Structure 1
Amino acid sequence: MERIIPFNRPYLTGKEAHYVYDAVYTGKLSGNGKYTHLCQDFFKEKYGFGKCLLTTSCTDALEMAALLLNIKSGDEVILPSYTFVSTANAFVLRGAKLVFVDSREDHPGMDENKIEELITEKTRAIVPVHYAGVACDMDKIMALAEKYGLYVVEDAAQAIDSYYTGKDGVKKALGSIGHLAAFSFHETKNIISGEGGMLAINDPDFMDRAEILWEKGTNRSAFFRGEVDKYGWVDVGSSFLPSEIIAAFLWAQLENLEEIQKKRIEHWNQYFEGLNDWIREQGMNLPYIPSYATNNAHMFYIVCESGAQRDFIIKKLKKRKIHSVFHYLSLHKSPFYKGIHGSRELIHSDTYSDHLIRLPLFFQLTKDDIEYILKVLKSK
C-alpha cells in the first residue's frame, strides 16, 4: 500500500464524542456552561492568565481585544507583516492604520529592535505574534509599552503551552504577559476543537467589560451569577462565546495536553536531529529557539536558500505523497494593504514568505514516517 503523509491530521483523544454527548443530553447546548467553565478554569490555573473567555475562534478573540482597547479610526497598531490576516483584520475593522514591522533575521517573529522607530503619537498598541509558539522578547516589548503608554496584545494563536523567561529569571506562559492575549484551537493547532479560540485578559481594568462584550453587549453573565436582578444591553458586543459542544470537545483535548505535547516534541526533535547536518550542507536554516523561549512543537519548518529551492523540495515531497506547505505571504505586499503600507521594505518578512517550508507534524506521525520524510528530503 502506498504511503501517504498529509500535512496535518486532527488528533482525537477518544473522549471527545463522550463529552459532546454529555453536553447534548444535559440540555445545555449554548455557551458558558459546564464545559466552558472547566476549560476556562484550566487555563487560568495552569498558566496564570488573569481571566479566560472561550471564543468561537482566535479571530474573535483578537476582535474582542480591539474592541476592549477602543481602537478607532486614526489609531495606529504595530504588528508583524509575517502573520495570518486575522491579526491585522481585527484592528482594520476598527479603523486602525497598520504599521508593519519586519521579521528577525534568525526567526520569523517580529524584530523587537525595530519597533521603537515605528512608534508615533498615534500608536495605541503593539501586537507581538509568537510564531511557531516561540516567544518574542517580551521584556523589550513590555518596556516599550510602559515607556510610551501602549497596550500589548499577544497573538498566541500558535503558542499554547509555551513559555518566556525574562531577565528576572521568572518563567511565564505566553499569553500571560501582555494586557490581552488571543489563542487558537483550530484543527491545525496542538490542542483543537475544530474551530475555537480564547481571549486571556490579564489587565484587571478590562475584565468586567470583556465579559459584557462576550455576551453580546449585555450583563447576562452577571445576572446568572445573581449580581444583578435583570440583564440588558449595556455596551457594544457580539456573539463571541462558543457552544458547549465546542467546549466539550476542547475539554477532552485539555485532559490529554501533556501526552499530546510530549509526542509532538519527540517528532520535532527527530526532525531537527535528522536534518541538522544536511540542512547546513544545502545552505538552508533550521528553526531557531532563543535562550529565553521554550519550544511547544507547534510546527517544524526549514528556510530554503532560494524560492527555486523551496519549489523543488515541495514538488519532490509531493511526488512521494508527502504534503508540505509554505506559510504566510507578507501582509504589507497583499493586494488589500500594499497601497496603504507604502514603499518601506521588510526584507526578512519577504524572505520567509518566499523561502520557508512547513513539514508534516501531527500526533499520529510515527518515527518511521519521519524517517521516510527525511530520506525523501535528502534524496537526489
Structure 2
Amino acid sequence: MIPFNKPYLSGKELDYIQDAVLNQGKLSGNGKYTNLCQNFFNTRYGFKKSLLTTSCTDALEMAAILADIKEGDEVIMPSYTFVSTSNAFVLRGAKIVFADSRADHPGIDEDAIESLITAKTKAIVPVHYAGVACDMEKIMNLANKYNLLVIEDAAQALDNDFTFSDGTKKALGAIGHLAAFSFHETKNIISGEGGLLAINDERFSRRAEIIWEKGTNRSEFFRGEVDKYGWVDMGSSFLPSEMIAAFLWAQLENIDRIQERRIAIWNQYETQLKDWALKNDVMLPFIPENSTNNAHMFYLVCKDVEQRTNLIQRLKDNKVSAVFHYLSLHKSAFYQDKHDGRQLKQTDRYSECLVRLPLYFELSNEQVKMITEVIVNG
C-alpha cells in the first residue's frame, strides 16, 4: 500500500535527541535546540521573534490571547480550514464569522472579507491552504483601513513567499502581526507534534514570552533581567521539550533537500495529470502569480462528489491511499446553529470534491507514475 503520508527522517534526529538527553542537562525546553530552531526561523524568514510551541494549535491559542480576544469580538476566517483555526478564538469567547473560499483555490476569498467587517471585528485570520499564499497585500490593506489584527494560519506554509505589487517579497508568516506554523508529521518539516508562533509586531514580543512560560517572567529571570520570577499574566504550558526541538533541528538542517524533492514530486503530478484533468473537468492546484509553491500538498478538485468517491475507491483498489480534507466548519455540529445562514458555495464544493494524493519525501518517481496511471487509465 502506498500511504498518504510517511514521516521522513533526515538521519540526525536521534543523535540530537541523545545529545539533548545526555549532554545538555536540560530537557524541559528553551535550551540549546530551542534556541537553534528559533534563530533559524528569525534569520531565514525575517520573523522579529519566534517561539516554538507544542503544536500549531497552541501557537494559535497564544495568538488569540495576545490579540486580547474577548467575549463578543468577531474574527473573520475561512470555513474551509482545520478546527484549531476556529477553536483558538472560540475559547476566548469570539464569534467566528466565516468567509467563503475562492473559486480557483480553497484559500479565503479576499474580496469577500470587507463586507463581513463590523464594529465588533477584531482580527482577520487568513489560512494559507496547501501552503499557497493568500493575497496578503489585500488583507493587510483592509487591516490597516479598519485597524484590525492579522493572524496568519501558516500551518502548511513554511518556506513559501508572497510578492507584493511593488516587487517586495516576504516569507509567509512574516507579513501579519502574528503567525502560527505546524510541524505535525504530515507537514513538510516535522517534529511529530510541534508548532511555532512568529511575532512580527514588537508590541507583542514581551507578553508572548510570558504567556509561553505559563504566565511567568521566567525567561527574563534566566537572562538575568530580573532577580526573581513570578506570575505576571495569564498563560499556559506552550513550550515544547528540548527533545522535540532537537528532532526539529535535524529537519531544519535538511530543509532545502526536503523541499527540492517535494517540489519535484509536485511537478511530476502536475505534468502527468494536466491533460487528463482538462478532459475530465477536474481542477488541479492553482498557484497565483504572487505566491511561490512549497509543495505541501497536491490535490484534485473533482466535478462532483460521485467522481471523487469513485476516484478514491479506484486508488484504494490499487493500493494507493488518497483522502479528502476538511468538512465545512460553518456546517459542523458545533457551529451550524451559530452561523449567520450565509451560503458558502465554494467552501462546500471543496468539502465535497477535493481529494489529496500521496506526497512525501520518499515517494519515488515510479510510484508517482503508477498513481497517475491509475487515475488516467481508470
Counterparts of residues 197-236 of structure 1 (less than 5 Å): 197-236=195-234
Q: 1:137 aligns with which of 125, 135, 141?
A: 135
**Cα-to-partner distance string for 1:292-338 (whole Å, 9 max, x where unaligned):** 00000000000000000000000000011100000000100000000
1:342 positional shift: 3.0
- Partners of 2:82 and 2:216 lie apart in 1 by 30
- Partners of 1:286 and 1:330 lie apart in 2 by 20
Paired residue type of 1:301: Y
Paired residue type of 1:25: L
TM-score (norm 2): 0.99
- Partners of 2:341 and 2:75 lie apart in 1 by 18
Paired residue type of 1:190: N
Match of 1:33 in 2: 31
Q: 1:126 aligns with which of 115, 124, 127?
A: 124
Counterparts of residues 227-306 of structure 1 (less than 5 Å): 227-306=225-304
Match of 2:42 in 1: 44
1:226 positional shift: 0.3
1:252 positional shift: 0.1
Match of 1:13 in 2: 10
Q: Determine if the alignment matches structure 1 residue 307 to structure 2 residue 322.
A: no
- Partners of 1:374 and 1:78 lie apart in 2 by 38
1:28 positional shift: 0.8
Match of 1:24 in 2: 21
Match of 1:99 in 2: 97
- Partners of 1:286 and 1:70 lie apart in 2 by 39
1:343 positional shift: 1.6
Match of 1:376 in 2: 374
Paired residue type of 1:53: L
Match of 1:194 in 2: 192
- Partners of 1:48 and 1:155 lie apart in 2 by 17
Paired residue type of 2:145: K
Match of 2:161 in 1: 163
1:378 positional shift: 1.3
- Partners of 1:286 and 1:377 lie apart in 2 by 13
Q: 1:355 aligns with which of 343, 353, 356?
A: 353
Match of 1:340 in 2: 338
- Partners of 2:309 and 2:327 lie apart in 1 by 15
1:160 positional shift: 0.3
1:168 positional shift: 1.4
- Partners of 1:273 and 1:171 lie apart in 2 by 27
- Partners of 1:343 and 1:188 lie apart in 2 by 33
**Cα-to-partner distance string for 1:268-305 (whole Å, 9 max, x where unaligned):** 00000000000000111100000000000000000000
- Partners of 2:102 and 2:116 lie apart in 1 by 15
Paired residue type of 1:191: I
- Partners of 1:168 and 1:215 lie apart in 2 by 39
1:98 positional shift: 0.2
Paired residue type of 2:197: L
- Partners of 1:70 and 1:276 lie apart in 2 by 46
Q: Aligned with 1:106: secondary structure?
A: coil
Paired residue type of 1:299: M
Q: Determine if the alignment matches structure 1 residue 146 to structure 2 residue 144.
A: yes
Q: Determine if the alignment matches structure 1 residue 54 to structure 2 residue 90.
A: no
Match of 1:109 in 2: 107
Gaps of 5+ in 2: none
- Partners of 1:179 and 1:32 lie apart in 2 by 23
Gaps of 5+ in 1: none
Paired residue type of 1:139: E
- Partners of 2:215 and 2:230 lie apart in 1 by 8
Q: Please give the root-mean-square deviation of Cα atoms over the aligned residues, in Å.
A: 0.4
Q: Aligned with 1:341: secondary structure?
A: coil
State the number of aligned residues.
Answer: 377
Paired residue type of 2:164: G
- Partners of 2:67 and 2:289 lie apart in 1 by 32
- Partners of 2:341 and 2:199 lie apart in 1 by 36
Q: Aligned with 2:337: secondary structure?
A: helix
1:379 positional shift: 1.9
TM-score (norm 1): 0.99
**Which stretch has the larger CA shift, 370-379 or 36-45?**
370-379
